[in-house]
């Protein structure tokens, strides 16, 4: 299976603090790859380096064997942990705005169907529920038809039903053979969605493998 991303000897330091400490992993095409760990583990810093938003102190991230460059922003989709949307725009107007940022885009009809936006297209985005807002943010991450989609803790704060609905959306995206990089606090979420998992703490990788392998290794009960 094709290797899409390789992270090699990645280090990120902020003064005396080492946020990411010499980590290595690779991600295969069409897989959902999970980064797990508590707050402060280094997940978001790692993701931001992979997205090209910040530079590493040492090491590199390779896409199909090549270093990250300025063209990557057109080829990846990102759902940030916190996203500010323009006030006083409806969901449909927000889609139109973000479409103007990219050279290549997905049709709105596909996004509306895939992310189930139809019932609130004319609603001001400030009036959306938590689950509706996350579905809109997912649509915005997919608007440029990316091969690789980054989802940074996308279900934090959602109620159980909204979380499960969002899981199904992610499975639908994966069925299109897109590669997904997911950060999460929840092992149940990783078990449902991820093919491979890396667990970080204090900037280092403490475990890696499939969810089934990790559960078998560390838990003997149900």
Between 92 and 216, residue with greater pLDDT: 92
Query: How do residues 58-77 score in pLDDT, each as one tens digit?
Result: 999 999 888 877 777 778 99
pTM equals: 0.90
Contact 36, 28 (CB under 8 A): no
Beta-sheet strand order (sheet of 66-67): 17-28, 3-14, 58-63, 66-67
Q: Shortest CA distance to 201 belongs to which of 185, 216, 190?
A: 185
What confidence category does residue 112 fall into, taking pLDDT thresholds of 50, 70 and 90?
Answer: very high
Query: How do residues 23-50 score in pLDDT, each as one tens digit?
Result: 999 999 999 999 999 888 999 899 999 9
Return the sign of the alpha-carbon dihedral for residues 207, 184, 181, 18. negative
Neighbouring residues of 217: CB distance < 8 A, sequence distance ≥ 6: 209
Query: How do residues 124-180 score in pLDDT, each as one tens digit?
Result: 999 999 999 999 999 999 999 999 999 998 998 888 999 999 999 999 999 999 999
């Amino acid at each position: 299976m094709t290797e899409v991303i390789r992270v090699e000897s990645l280090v990120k330091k902020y003064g005396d603090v080492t946020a990411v400490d010499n980590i290595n992993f690779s991600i295969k095409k069409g897989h959902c790859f999970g980064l797990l760990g508590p707050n402060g583990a280094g997940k978001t810093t790692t993701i931001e380096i992979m997205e090209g938003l910040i530079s590493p102190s040492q090491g590199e991230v390779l896409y199909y064997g090549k270093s990250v460059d300025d063209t990557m922003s057109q080829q990846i989709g990102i759902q940030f942990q916190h996203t500010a949307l323009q006030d006083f725009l409806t969901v449909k107007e927000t889609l139109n705005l973000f479409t103007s940022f990219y050279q290549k885009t997905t049709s709105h009809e596909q996004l509306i169907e895939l992310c189930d936006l139809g019932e609130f297209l004319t609603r001001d985005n400030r009036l959306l529920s938590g689950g509706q807002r996350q579905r809109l943010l997912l649509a915005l991450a997919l608007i440029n038809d990316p091969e690789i989609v980054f989802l940074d803790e996308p279900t934090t704060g959602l109620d159980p039903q909204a979380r499960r609905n969002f899981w199904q959306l992610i499975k639908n995206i994966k069925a299109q053979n897109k590669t997904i990089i997911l950060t999460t606090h929840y092992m149940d979420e990783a078990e449902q969605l991820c093919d491979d998992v890396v667990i970080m703490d204090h900037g280092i990788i403490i475990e890696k493998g499939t969810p089934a392998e990790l559960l078998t290794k560390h838990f003997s009960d149900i």
